Chain A
């Protein structure tokens, strides 16, 4: 009864507010049709519908809400599933007199990412504050991921996360508490922007269920422990000359991971112990924009993520000493047909795109962007990486090359079309026997709003 009254009050407030101030709403339909020759994938189609509402509340506040529903042919997912995509109240409070500054507060469910996009780029439920000053911006965020629908998330870091991901009776994402502090200092010198970031990822699973405790002396393949991580990052980016830009960053990854290791104090000679994570991720990217030649852009991107020569698997695979494999929480990846996570990886992406009809005003193909990417992948260390087909016992070396072509078109403001075709040509000696076939991948997407 009380819940009904509360719900009714909220609806009345929202409806009432729509008559007081301007609002906007709409629907976006996305379709993704893909084919991969990788074993277990095949043809997958996903149709998403997003219903969104934007409601300014007075001079300072904005209420944003969107829900999404999906119809999927992916056998690893239900046919129909849905989630609240965003649900946030955002307040902006400028102070324009002497000592001008800006305070932004956001509460609810929102998308959050750190400056590189490779460590954390994900939705979460929580609070985010931003303090804007003339020469810097400080952002503090705290969020929880345990209320998200797992079919819209990519937060698998521990064995129990992986087991839950396969369990169709479990609908919610892994329970993690994410805290971030970021400081950005634009144009600190010679138009270069400096960024600092600290992320903390606390696994809260033990508060809700049993996990393997430290000291257990028998190996249990059906369970696992906690994976807590912290990241300390610094980045620099800016222009080099007209049309030429670069960005460079480094993250130190620390934390702890449960490891089944030799233990002299154990009766069996082995035991589960929490081992320190000590890892690193570095990246360098250079982009050149040549507007005069069909709005073309050429880029080179290099990523290096440390590996662990003792690891026999990506998830809790460390078998001795510290865990040295870099573990992102949920971030971007390189490649098209082959898309390993940034763990035990060295990759160089060369890309080029242009808009061949950009000079023909009013032509339906004016917005067509076509391009190609070439990404050779290497394993910097013996040991496992995120792709299970890669042989953990294989030493450091060349993995293969991903080659892709793509085209994006926006013929109308409310219709977008995209297509990509990728090939991965593996180095067979780096892969497990029977898992070393080339991969063909194709995808077509469209987006329509009304």
Chain B
């Protein structure tokens, strides 16, 4: 598959939140200016985590026939390394960089980063393809979260039946969004983008 196909598939057809249920449906507003930081943090953390796991998987675990232990090595090696990098960036940076590092630090331990890293390292991608897929998956999660956040803002102003206010409305909205994205099929993307 071409890089464009990988990116489009990772953002739409195999969306981390709406297809795999990784991460969580957003439930509260973000501070002003937080969206760019969130997008950058998601892309950087996912790209770094997936690259490290891809390297570990390809050069160490697979040759030793220990590929099924990847989650353990991810928790033992990759997460502490990412945490260390996040803390180093937080200490050395000011303003946006420290906010980015703090956001990235929050993301490291969670099903989103673990899941995307496992998917991209087990999909048979080359290193640049895995990097593109994981960064695009982070972008895809951000895309879904931003749309759901906008829906939440509108729903707060609308007169919903009481039982559906809050989380139920968000889950049903996520379902409708996932239904819309089901129209972007991987085979269709492959045909269009190569």
The answer to whether A and B belong to the same complex is no
